[in-house]
Amino acid sequence: MNRTRTTRLVAMAATAAVVLAGCGNGGDAAEPATDGSLQIEAGDMYFEPESFAADAGEVTVALENVGGVEHDFVVEEEGDDLVVHADPGETNTGTIDLDAGTYTVYCSIPGHRDAGMEGTLEVS
């Protein structure tokens, strides 16, 4: 005896997840690398991307300087703590311990912040 069953697949749209990225500068959030470090490019005079996301705790920043002058990466809310500095052509890595929150980061070389080397770090 045969019993035929009709299986209906009902597409459920209810599972659509809405992910709210940190609002602000509209830059793309950096995808953390598999080792958890942030990969950030520093040029003359920009960070690429301009906004970053990281997990709370020890945050590792790999700063690649593709520009022609020195650049660094400083966290304003942590007492302007210098995380990493890179001369032209260098990629250097630094770490900083951060709680969850929104941080302003910038390049502390004179004039660079005003020229646009500023970004946002979202720690969650």
C-beta separation of 53 from 22 below 8 A: yes
Select the residue interacting with Cu ion from 22, 37, 109, 122 (CB under 5 A). 109
Q: Token pair of 14, please?
A: 């209810």
71 vs 84, which CB is nearer to Cu ion? Answer: 71
| ω into 45 cis (within 30 of 0) | yes
Shortest approach of Cu ion to residue 44 CB, angstroms? 7
Shortest approach of Cu ion to residue 119 CB, angstroms? 12
CA distance 37 to 19: 22
Shortest approach of Cu ion to residue 73 CB, angstroms? 9
Q: Map the footprint of Cu ion across residues 49-108, applying CB under 5 A.
A: 71, 107
Binding stretches for Cu ion (CB under 5 A): 71, 107, 109, 112, 117
